[in-house]
Amino acid sequence: MATLRALPSVHQLLEAPQASAMVASHGRPLVRFAVQRVIEEERRTGAIAEPEARWSAIERVIQELRRPRLRPVVNATGVILHTNLGRAPLAAAAAEAAAAIAGRYSTLEFDPQTGRRGRRHDLAADLLRHLSGAEGAAVVNNCAAAVLLMLTALAKGKEVIVARGELVEIGGGFRMPDVMRLSGARMVEVGTTNRTRAEDYAAAITPRTAAILKVHASNFQVIGFTQSVELKELAAIARQHQLLLLHDLGSGALVETAAYGLAEEPRIQDSLASGADLVACSADKLLGGPQAGLLLGRAALVDRVMKHPLARAVRVDKMTLAALIATLDLYLTQSPAGVPVWEMLGASAESIAARAQGWQRRLMEQGALAEVVAAESTVGGGSLPGERLATTALAITPRRGGGGAAELLRRLRQHEPPVIGRIVEERVLLDPRTVLPGEDDVIVEAVIAALV
Ligand SMILES: *Cc1c(COP(=O)(O)O)cnc(C)c1O
């Protein structure tokens, strides 16, 4: 075996004729990076490669590095707001709007009428006000930022009353008590895990109290012996004591979920109509837009919050704003047809079954067997926990001796673009509900490739 001394230097390798061809097509920095990585690996393991094998390894590393890390996948899991897969897919119009703004200069903070400076968060404000009935509206980076900003700007150094049953963790380390601490507001917990009464809130009010915070139970359910205080009642208490009522609504829906056969998810309009002074919600959950956080409510409060220095740290990007405005425009003009999340929620049982059967037929034509089975889709993304939507899925039984359903699932993931399914009773289920129009061919190709 060759010794480490036989290992060429990065410099020597970059001067070799094999390298110049690579540099010509991939650029010197990338080739240097790949060469360094391969040499380091050889040094670390002590396994010195033959030159030919080494050049192949370098080529492989280059290919790996050039493959986009952030790339499309086909979501066949049936989880509509799949956080790991990017939550809400944008409407075509929203994606086009973002792309149109991305590579150009824009009116982001500029009013062409007057030639003066504008405010970026005003761009979507009219639409948001109109759709929600809010007096004031602003956009920030996400709902977590909106909550942090609202608490910091309105309650820092003061007390905020919150029910123990609402001290939730949203995921990714976003825990209400931590956010509260970060904002500098002092959290005053009332009630118990399962029950909180109006008197609990009233009894906790002191001269230092700034606000009552209500946090929507987005991603969990408490069942059994439970009690919580309705927003309307909290609004009355807040008014009586001249406190602010802040609402972390989470999944800001503009549309009635009940009309889709789902449990009721409070809409932004409902929260405002019930008397919340300021509402924070996500734009990429049930709104079906880009990642953003919305702040809606009394104009003076929105203004005060957006003037806080922290607002700059959580400001929204131009591509996001373009996509958000285009999404809101769909609510105005075709409420909410064309918003993928709502198309998925509203997809008819027949259309879903027809797609699953279509996949089955095309697979059969190519000699692959699959079944069409009844299954359940979920909303996901911290919205409507426990809600299940009846669906029809394609069920693929793994080949005998082929590593089982987990291996089949893995092979589907290896496809380009990756197809993401789930395992139910040792079979791989692919749910048409979350597979976008135009992705049917990919499903069929990926299954054929995975079964060989
Ligand atoms: C989802 C959620 C958040 C966080 O929203 P992001 O947009 O992901 O930052 C905060 N609060 C509640 C109640 C939520 O449901």
pLDDT of the chain, 452 residues: tens digit per residue: 557 778 999 999 999 999 999 999 999 999 999 999 999 999 999 999 999 999 999 999 999 999 999 999 999 999 999 999 999 999 999 999 999 999 999 999 999 999 999 999 889 999 999 999 999 999 999 999 999 999 999 999 999 999 999 998 887 778 999 999 999 999 999 999 889 999 999 999 999 999 999 999 878 888 888 899 999 999 999 999 999 999 999 998 999 999 888 888 899 999 999 999 999 999 999 999 999 999 999 999 999 999 999 999 999 999 999 999 999 999 999 888 899 999 999 999 999 999 999 999 999 999 999 999 999 999 988 778 888 999 999 999 998 888 899 999 999 999 999 999 999 999 999 999 999 999 999 999 999 999 98
Q: Tally the C-alpha atoms within 13 A of residue 34's C-alpha that lie toward its C-beta.
A: 24
Site to substitute for ligand 1 among 143, 218, 284, 285, most atoms within 8 A of C-beta? 143
Angle subtended by helix axes 17-26 and 51-66, to nearest 10? 10
Q: How far is the CA of 170 from the centre of ligand 1 (A)?
A: 6
Q: Which residues contact 208 (CB under 8 A, 6 or more apart)?
A: 158, 159, 186
Pocket test of ligand 1: the residue of 180, 265, 282, 291 to mutate, having most ligand atoms within 8 Å of its CB, is 282
- State pLDDT tens for residues 215-260: 998 788 888 888 999 999 999 999 999 999 999 999 989 999 998 8
Question: What are the tokens at 276?
Answer: 């919340």
How many Å apart are CA 268 and CA 287, to the nearest integer?
10
Å from CA of 355 to ligand 1 middle: 33
Range 74-82+343-451 has CATH code 3.40.50.11270: no
Task: Classify 297 as helix, strand or coil.
Answer: strand
Question: What's the CATH class of domain 92-338?
Answer: alpha beta
Whether residue 53 contacts residue 93, with contact meaning beta carbons closer than 8 Å, is answered with no
Provide the 3-class DSSP secondary structure of residue 123.
Answer: coil
State pLDDT tens for residues 265-282.
899 999 999 999 999 999
For the chain, how far is it from start to end, CA to CA, in angstroms?
A: 39
**Nearest Cα to 278, choosing from 140, 402, 417?**
140
Distance CA(282)–CA(249), nearest Å, equals 8
Q: Which of 96, 80, 138, 122 is nearest to 326 (CA)?
A: 96
Residue 168 CA, closest ligand 1 atom number: 13
Give this prediction's pTM.
0.93
DSSP 8-state assignment for residue 227:
B
Which residues sit with their C-beta closer than 6 Å to ligand 1? 142-144, 147, 170, 174, 215-216, 218, 248, 250-251, 282, 293, 382
Q: What's the 444 CA to ligand 1 centre distance in angstroms?
A: 35
Residue 306 CA, ligand 1 centroid: distance in Å: 19
Question: Rounded to an integer, what distance in angstroms lies between the CA atom of residue 292 and that of residue 283?
Answer: 5
Structure tokens at 340: 């993928």
| Residue nearest ligand 1's atom 12 by CA | 250
